Amino acid sequence: MLNYFLYSISITFSSWIIGMLFYAPIRYTDFHKHSLENLNFLPSKPLNTFIGLDVFKWIVRNTFFKFFNLKLNLRLKRRIELKDLETYVLK
């Protein structure tokens, strides 16, 4: 039983490190800015609710996970509109 637990942890960290190695060379390219930054795989709000993304958003917003992206801010040079809030704020 302990072996399964240790294997799952090692596979998780190995895949995380491999992902970081593949991501590092492309993060400052135009391909990343235009194609990878704003992906929305499931634009349907009822489907997002059905699969539990509302609960996931609550967990990210109200637990220690909120400290992982401190660079995100809403300092805009113009008035904040509803479409901006839908982009930046988790509902």
Range of the domain at 77: 45-91
Does 13 share its domain with 30? yes
CA-to-CA separations, 75 to 28, 66, 80, 85, in angstroms, rounded:
22, 18, 9, 12
The predicted model gives 48-52 an average pLDDT of 88
Residues 20 and 51 occupy one common structural domain: no
Confidence tier at 45 by pLDDT (50, 70, 90): confident
pLDDT given for residue 81 in this prediction: 62
State mean pLDDT over 40-66: 83
How many separate domains does the chain show? 2
Same domain, yes or no: 35 and 58: no
**One domain for residues 33 and 53:** no
pTM comes to 0.43
Residues 21 and 56 in one domain: no
Say yes or no: 89 and 50 in one domain. Answer: yes
